[in-house]
Structure 1
Amino acid sequence: MQYRVQGIVIRSMDYGEGNKIITLFTREMGKAAVIVRGAKKVKSRFSSVAQLFTCGDYLFFKSGQLGTLNHAEIVESHHHIREDLHMAAYASYMAELTDRMLGDQEASAFLYEQLAAALHGLETGKDMQIISHIYEMKIWMLAGYQPELEECVSCRNAEGDMSFSAALGGILCSRCRAKDQQALPLSAGLLKLLRLFAQMDIRRLGQIDVKPETKESLKRLMRGYFDTHVGLALKSRHFLDQMDKYGV
C-alpha cells in the first residue's frame, strides 16, 4: 500500500552499502520506518531527505514492517540545527524521546505539531532547555505520565507552600511534606513554570527569561520525575549531561 505523509526524521541508521533506514514521526500515522535506497551516496536525490530533523512530505510503499521511499520533498531542512552542537544535542534528545516513548503507528497530530514547533524554536534562538522541558511535559501527558501540579497528591489541598515529589507523582502541601523526605521545595515561580509547561502550546511560545538557578532546579526536578516513572536510558540525555559536566 502506498502512503503519502508529512513527517520529521527522528532516527536514521545505515543499512547495507548505500542505503539508510529512517524513522519518520508523521502527522497522519505516528512512527513509520522507511528504507531510503541510495541515501548514503553523495549524488543521491534522497540523501538530504534522510537526514535527522528534516521535515518533509514523503511518499512510500509499504507491504510489511518497512516502507520503501518513492518520493520526498523537503518542507524544513533544519540544517542549522545539525550544524550547531548544542541545538543538535537538544533536538536529538527530543527525537529520541519521541522514538522511545511512542509505539508504532501511535498517531498524535498535536504532538507532531509540538515537535515541529520545538525544532523551529531551537533554530530561531529560543531557550533550548526550556523548549525541551515543555516538550517533555507534552509527551508525558500523551503517554499517561502527567504529574499532578494543581493540588496536593495526598490530601488535595491546593493552598500554601508546595514541594514536588517524584515518588508520589506531583506536588505535596506543607502538611503532607513528611510523606516524602526527598521531595523538592518549590518556589511560587517554579511551580508557576511547571504549570505553564503543562498548558503551553510550543507554537505560541515567546521568549522566556529564566534564571540559571531556576533552570538547574527545573532540570533536576524533571529528570527525577522521568527516571522514577519512565526510566528509559537515553543516549542523547547522557550526551547533554556530558556537555554540562565539561562546560561545552
Structure 2
Amino acid sequence: MLQSVQGIVIRTMDHGEGNKIVRLFTPELGKVSVMARGAKKVKSKHAAVTQLFTYGDFVFFKQRGQMGSLNGAEIIEAHHALREDLHKSAYASYLTEMTDRMFGDDEGGHYFFEQLRAGLAAIEEGKDMQIVVHLYEMKMFGLAGYLPVTDSCVSCGGTDGIISFSPTLGGLLCMRCRHKDPSAIAVGEGAQKLLKLFPRMDMRRLGSVQVKEETKQQLKTCMRTYMDTHIGVHWKARGFIEQMEKYNI
C-alpha cells in the first residue's frame, strides 16, 4: 500500500553499505520506520531528506507486517541550524530521542507531532532550549501517566505555603507536609509558576521567555530527578547535555 505523509526524521540507522533505516514521526500514522535505499550515498536523492530533524513529505510503499520502502520525499524544513550548532543539536536530539523511545510503532498522533515540530522550531529560532525541553518532558510525563501534581500540595491538597517539589511523592509539597520527604527539592515562586504552567502549555504558544538562572536551576533539578524516578530511561542526548554543562562547553 502506498502511503503519503508529512513526517519528522527522529532517528536514522545505517543498514548495509548504502542504505538507511529512517524512523519518522507523523501526524497520521504515528511512529513508522522506512528503508531508504542508497540514502547513505552522497549523490542519492534521499541523502538530504533523510537527515535527522528534517521535516518533509514522504511517500513510501508498505505491506502489512513489513517495513516500508521509501519511494520519494521532499523537504519542507531542513533544520540545518539544528545540526550545525552543537548546543542546538544536543537539545533537539533530546526531543527526538524522547519521541522515539516513549512512543511504540504506529503510536503518536497530531497533537504530539505538532508539539515536536514546534519544539524543534523553537530551538532553531533561539528560544530558551532548557525551557523547551522541560515543556516537552512534561508532555512525555502526561503520555506515560506520570504527570506530577503542580497546582496544589500532593499530600494534603492545599494551595498555600508551597515550598518544595517531591519527585518521590509526585509533586509539590507545602511547608506542613515538607517532613514527608526530607529529600524534596526547594522551589521558589518562579519555578512553581512554570511547573504549574507546563502541563497546560502548548509548545506552539511558547514565546521568548526570560527565566532567572536560579529558577532554571531549580526546574532542571526537579525535572531531571522526576524523569529518573518515574521514567527510568538512560537518555543519551541528556547525558551529552550534562557533559557540556559539566565542562562549560
TM-score range, shorter chain: over 0.9
Aligned to 1:28: 28
Aligned to 1:43: 43
Q: How far apart, CA to CA, are the structure 2 residues paired with 1:128 and 1:30?
A: 25
Aligned to 2:13: 13
Q: 2:161 is paired with a residue of what secondary structure?
A: coil
Aligned to 2:129: 128
| 8 Å Cα contact 1:114-1:202 kept in structure 2 | yes
1:95 aligns with 2:96: yes
Q: 2:121 is paired with a residue of what secondary structure?
A: helix
| 8 Å Cα contact 1:11-1:22 kept in structure 2 | yes
Question: What are the residue-to-residue correspondences of 1:49-64 with 2, within 5 Å?
Answer: 49-63=49-63, 64=65
Q: How far is the alpha carbon of 1:65 from its aligned partner? A: 3.7
Aligned to 2:164: 163
Question: What are the residue-to-residue correspondences of 1:82-231 with 2, within 5 Å?
Answer: 82-231=83-232
Q: How far is the alpha carbon of 1:153 from its aligned partner? A: 1.5
Q: How far apart, CA to CA, are the structure 1 residues paired with 2:208 and 2:112?
A: 21
Q: How far apart, CA to CA, are the structure 2 residues paired with 1:15 and 1:126?
A: 35
Q: How many residues align?
A: 248
Q: How far apart, CA to CA, are the structure 1 residues paired with 2:141 and 2:53?
A: 21
Q: 1:178 is paired with a residue of what secondary structure?
A: helix
| Residue ranges of structure 2 left out of the alignment (5+ in a row) | none
Q: How far is the alpha carbon of 1:108 from its aligned partner? A: 2.0
Residue type matched to 1:39 in 2? Answer: A
Moved more, 152-161 or 3-12: 152-161
**Cα RMSD for the two superposed structures:** 1.0
Residue type matched to 1:230 in 2? Answer: I
Q: How far is the alpha carbon of 1:68 from its aligned partner? A: 0.5
Residue type matched to 2:226 in 1? Answer: Y
Provide TM-score, normalisation by structure 2. Answer: 0.97
Aligned to 1:69: 70
Going from structure 1 to structure 2, the CA distance change for 1:104 and 1:208 (only over 3 Å counts) comes to same
Runs of 4+ in 1 over 4 A off after TM superposition: none
Q: Percent identity?
A: 58
Q: Deviations over 1:101-156 (max 9, x none)?
A: 11111122111101101111111111111111111111211221211111212111
Q: How far apart, CA to CA, are the structure 2 residues paired with 1:124 and 1:94?
A: 15
Residue type matched to 1:247 in 2? Answer: N
| 8 Å Cα contact 1:57-1:72 kept in structure 2 | yes
